[in-house]
């Protein structure tokens, strides 16, 4: 018998998400991820391994607890859409720590967009002002709809104002969000997008120090969810914006190198979001505070969605299996498989 493990191809993952429903998936992944943030000290954590190129980055993101190991292969190439390719693509794996054998191999381009949006919305639970109902999205590329669904499902946001320098991207967003129940409008400039927003999500892609949100447009009480600055030399917010806000991060050693805060001194105070989730640190303290989640994407978030997907496919019998581990009858006689 070959040793087979679960495999989620792109069509199978799409089928699974459509069967469960995007809102339910967001809520389910949020439960898994919140549980994992609550047991943060149990994880063996290292900043991801990044191989840089002038056009982008290729990264490996490992993490484990005592039971399971996860890793993701992911790229970030902002010039790719001009070539008909995506900015971000990924593949991920979950395995068993006790044997080292794989449990699940899956597409992770869609899963990354889901987990990124869920991580932001979990942070939002603690950093958004009470009564918030409107989110501005600056940058309506691949991540945008996922962010909208997560903030709707997890934080109760009902209105979105979207702005992209390419109006076709905003129109794509409107088309994809038809039937979502969210009230959506397109803004023609940044100010119009953020004027009435309680939350500002920046999700742009450019391999440079960009400034997509002028600081004089920001109002007291807003929550800024910055996901696009995630690599050395690739940021979205200028220092003036960062200095106005109380800053929350995933894993400080990684974010110091990759996040918006790479522009600040190394001792500028930041709070890891797990500390807020476990009640060890404050989230939003008052109505006027400007809060900022400097998201770069941490491996534990991949671990959480891999656990969720594994449990869902197993419970539904929805997985295919993949024969990728050589499995000789005698475990010490590998060569016999070639005879």
Ligand X SMILES: NC(=O)c1ccc[n+]([C@@H]2O[C@H](COP(=O)([O-])OP(=O)(O)OC[C@H]3O[C@@H](n4cnc5c(N)ncnc54)[C@H](O)[C@@H]3O)[C@@H](O)[C@H]2O)c1
The set of catalytic residues is 230
Q: Among 169, 194, 270, 277, which residue sits at the site for ligand X (rule: CB under 6 A)? A: 169
Binding part of the chain for ligand X, among 23-31, 123-131, 199-207, 261-269 by CB under 6 A, reads 199-207
Q: Which is nearer to ligand X, 40 or 163 (CB)?
A: 163
Q: Does 81 sit near ligand X (CB under 6 A)?
A: yes
Q: Does 59 sit near ligand X (CB under 6 A)?
A: no
Cα 336 to the chain's mean position, in Å? 44
What is the 8-class DSSP label of residue 101? -
Residue 1's CB is within 10 A of a number of other CB atoms, namely: 5
* Residue 114 burial by Cβ neighbours in a 10 Å radius (0-12, 13-18, 19+): buried
> How far is the C-alpha of 239 from the C-alpha of 65, rounded, in Å?
36
Q: Which is nearer to ligand X, 163 or 248 (CB)?
A: 163
Residue 184's CB is within 10 A of a number of other CB atoms, namely: 16
Q: Does 87 sit near ligand X (CB under 6 A)?
A: yes
Binding part of the chain for ligand X, among 19-27, 64-72, 289-297, 330-338 by CB under 6 A, reads 289-297
Cα 232 to the chain's mean position, in Å? 18
> How far is the C-alpha of 118 from the C-alpha of 91, rounded, in Å?
18
Kindly tell me the sign of the dihedral angle through the C-alpha atoms of 309, 202, 130, 193. negative
For residue 119, the minimal CB distance to ligand X (Å) is 7
> How far is the C-alpha of 332 from the C-alpha of 198, rounded, in Å?
61
Q: Among 61, 114, 123, 140, which residue sits at the site for ligand X (rule: CB under 6 A)? A: 140
Q: Does 139 sit near ligand X (CB under 6 A)?
A: yes
Q: Does 47 sit near ligand X (CB under 6 A)?
A: no
Q: Does 291 sit near ligand X (CB under 6 A)?
A: no
Residue 217's CB is within 10 A of a number of other CB atoms, namely: 18
Distances from the Cα of 166 to the Cα of 138, 170, 187, 190, angstroms: 11, 7, 11, 12
Size of the site for ligand X (CB under 6 A): 28
Q: Does 206 sit near ligand X (CB under 6 A)?
A: yes
Q: Give, for 149, the enclosing helix (H) or strand (E).
A: helix 144-155
Q: Does 297 sit near ligand X (CB under 6 A)?
A: yes
For residue 325, the minimal CB distance to ligand X (Å) is 30
Residue with tokens 């039937």: 179
Binding part of the chain for ligand X, among 128-136, 152-160, 197-205, 314-322 by CB under 6 A, reads 197-205
* Residue 163 burial by Cβ neighbours in a 10 Å radius (0-12, 13-18, 19+): buried
Q: Which is nearer to ligand X, 6 or 148 (CB)?
A: 148
Q: Does 141 sit near ligand X (CB under 6 A)?
A: yes
Q: Does 88 sit near ligand X (CB under 6 A)?
A: yes
Binding part of the chain for ligand X, among 65-73, 159-167, 239-247, 276-284 by CB under 6 A, reads 159-167
Q: Which of residues 232-261 bind ligand X (CB under 6 A)?
A: none
Q: Which is nearer to ligand X, 90 or 313 (CB)?
A: 90
For residue 179, the minimal CB distance to ligand X (Å) is 21
Task: Describe the strand order of the beta sheet including 134-138 as a list of residue ranges.
Answer: 183-186, 159-163, 134-138, 199-202, 223-226, 291-294, 246-249, 271-272
Q: List residues near ligand X by CB under 6 A.
A: 76, 81, 87-88, 112, 116, 138-143, 163-166, 169, 203-206, 212, 227-228, 230, 295-297
């Amino acid at each position: 018998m070959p040793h087979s493990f679960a495999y989620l191809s792109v069509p199978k993952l799409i089928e699974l998400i459509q069967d469960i429903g995007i809102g339910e998936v967001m809520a389910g992944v949020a439960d898994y991820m919140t549980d994992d943030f609550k047991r943060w000290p149990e994880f063996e954590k290292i900043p991801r391994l990044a191989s840089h190129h002038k056009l982008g980055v290729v990264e490996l993101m490992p993490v484990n607890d005592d039971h399971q190991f996860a890793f993701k292969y992911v790229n970030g190439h902002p010039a790719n859409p001009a070539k008909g390719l995506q900015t971000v693509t990924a593949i991920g794996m979950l395995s068993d720590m006790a044997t080292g054998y794989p449990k699940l191999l899956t597409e992770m381009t869609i899963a990354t967009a889901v987990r990124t949006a869920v991580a932001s919305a979990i942070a939002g639970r603690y950093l958004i002002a009470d009564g918030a109902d409107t989110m501005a999205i600056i940058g309506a590329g691949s991540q945008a709809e996922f962010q909208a669904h997560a903030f709707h499902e997890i934080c109760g946001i009902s209105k979105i104002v979207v702005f992209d320098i390419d109006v076709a991207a905003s129109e794509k967003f409107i088309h994809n969000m038809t039937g979502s129940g969210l009230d959506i409008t397109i803004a023609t400039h940044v100010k119009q997008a953020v004027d009435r927003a309680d939350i500002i999500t920046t999700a742009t892609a450019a391999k440079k120090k960009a400034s997509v949100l002028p600081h004089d447009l920001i109002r007291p009480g807003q929550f800024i969810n910055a996901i696009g600055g995630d690599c050395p030399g690739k940021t979205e917010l200028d220092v003036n914006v960062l200095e106005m806000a109380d800053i929350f991060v995933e894993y400080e050693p990684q974010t110091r190198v990759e996040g918006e805060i790479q522009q600040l001194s190394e001792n500028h105070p930041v709070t890891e979001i797990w500390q807020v989730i476990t009640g060890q640190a404050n989230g939003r303290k008052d109505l006027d505070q400007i809060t900022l989640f400097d998201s770069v994407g941490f491996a534990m978030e991949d671990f959480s969605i891999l656990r969720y997907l594994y449990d869902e496919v197993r419970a539904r019998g929805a997985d295919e299996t993949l024969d990728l581990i050589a499995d000789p009858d005698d475990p010490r006689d590998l060569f016999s498989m070639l005879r």
